[in-house]
Every structure is written in C-alpha cells, then in structure tokens.
C-alpha cells in the first residue's frame, strides 16, 4: 500500500511539473503569429497572379510581382517564420474570375499581408528584415497595380 501511494505521489509530481509547459504551449502563441497569416496571404496572392488556366499568360508586371512575393516569402522564412508549405500551396484559385478580378484579389491579399507584417519589432536585426519584407510587398503591390492598368482597369 505504501508503495502504491509513493508511486501515485511521484506520478502526480511529474504531472504537476509538466503541466505549466503544456499550458504555456497552448496559451502563448508564437512570437509573430501574424507572420504566418502573411505567408498564407502571400501564397494566395501568388496563386492569383500565376497562370491559372492553360490559356493564361503571365504578363511582365505579374511575373515581377510574383518575384517580389517570392522574395517576401523568403524573407519571412529567413525570420524563421516558416510553416513548411510549398510556394504553390494556397487555397484554390477561382479560375472563372476574369484576369482583372484575380489581379484585384491579389492586391487585396498583398494589403492584408502588409498589415500582418507591419507590427512593431523590437529586435534590430528583425526590424531590418521586416523593412525588406515590406519593400518586397510594396513592390509587388505596384506591379499588380501596373498589371491592372495594362488590362484597362483602375488600380
């Protein structure tokens, strides 16, 4: 009987020691959870700019925007914010949307990604990387605007 009580006390003590770790892992999100949202938005924007149907042609502005998005994604990965997904892993793209509609959707996703990455950064090295990511997202945004204008739309 005494052995069973000792065993129970040891098990409870180990459980009590492990409990704070389990609770903090569930309650405290990563340092920059919004960066994961930005990654998803950037991948989706990339999908809307990329060739969606066999007849689609990626124009120069869209190709340049894709390169900037890829650079922003790589910057986020450099900041150790990586969910391990491929660049082409994004929600399904509505192939029935006309090209201008897909460009506007990509633009909205870029704006969301920029807002996600915009938060304050206290680490000087990370702040510099964050600025470069902003620059890539802004450049992609400008290329998408140019592609919209080239298609006869308003940015």
**pTM: predicted TM-score of the whole model, two decimal places:** 0.70
- Domain annotation covers residue 155: no
Task: Examine the domain organization and report whether 78 and 145 are in the same domain.
Answer: yes
Q: What angle do CA 128, 130, 134 make, to 5 degrees?
A: 120
- Domain annotation covers residue 144: yes
Q: How many CB atoms lie within 10 A of CB 36?
A: 17
Task: Examine the domain organization and report whether 22 and 35 are in the same domain.
Answer: no
Task: Examine the domain organization and report whether 4 and 61 are in the same domain.
Answer: no
The model's pLDDT over 53-77, given as tens digits with 9 standing for 90+, comes to 777 788 999 999 999 999 999 988 8
The most confident of the ranges 2-6, 24-28, 60-64, 83-87 is 60-64
- Domain annotation covers residue 6: yes
Task: Examine the domain organization and report whether 94 and 24 are in the same domain.
Answer: no
- Please give the residue range of the domain that contains residue 7: 1-29
CA dihedral 28, 72, 119, 93 (to 10 degrees): -70
Task: Examine the domain organization and report whether 62 and 136 are in the same domain.
Answer: yes
Domain tally, the chain: 2
DSSP state letters, 120-155: ---SHHHHHHHHHHHHHHHHHHHHHHHHHHHTT---
- Domain annotation covers residue 93: yes
Three-state secondary structure call for residue 28: coil
- The Cα–Cα gap between 132 and 129 comes to 5
The model's pLDDT over 99-143, given as tens digits with 9 standing for 90+, comes to 788 899 999 999 999 998 888 877 777 788 889 999 999 999 999
Task: Examine the domain organization and report whether 75 and 19 are in the same domain.
Answer: no
Task: Examine the domain organization and report whether 21 and 68 are in the same domain.
Answer: no
Q: CATH code at 113?
A: 1.20.1260
Task: Examine the domain organization and report whether 21 and 54 are in the same domain.
Answer: no
- The Cα–Cα gap between 100 and 103 comes to 5
Cα distances (Å, whole numbers) of residue 154 to 24, 68, 100, 107, 144:
48, 21, 9, 12, 11
């Amino acid at each position: 009987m005494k052995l069973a009580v000792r065993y129970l006390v040891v098990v409870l003590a180990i459980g009590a020691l492990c409990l704070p770790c389990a609770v903090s892992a569930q309650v405290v999100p990563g340092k920059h959870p919004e960066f994961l949202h930005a990654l998803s938005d950037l991948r989706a924007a990339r999908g809307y700019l990329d060739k969606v149907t066999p007849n689609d042609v990626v124009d120069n502005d869209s190709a340049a925007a894709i390169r900037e998005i890829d650079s922003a994604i790589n910057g986020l990965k450099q900041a150790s914010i990586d969910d391990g997904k491929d660049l082409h892993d994004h929600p399904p793209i509505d192939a029935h949307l006309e090209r201008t509609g897909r460009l506007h959707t990509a633009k909205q996703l870029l704006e969301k990604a920029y807002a996600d990455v915009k938060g304050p950064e206290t680490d000087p090295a990370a702040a510099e990387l964050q600025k470069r990511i902003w620059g890539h997202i802004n450049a992609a945004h400008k290329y998408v605007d140019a592609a919209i204008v080239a298609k006869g739309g308003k940015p």
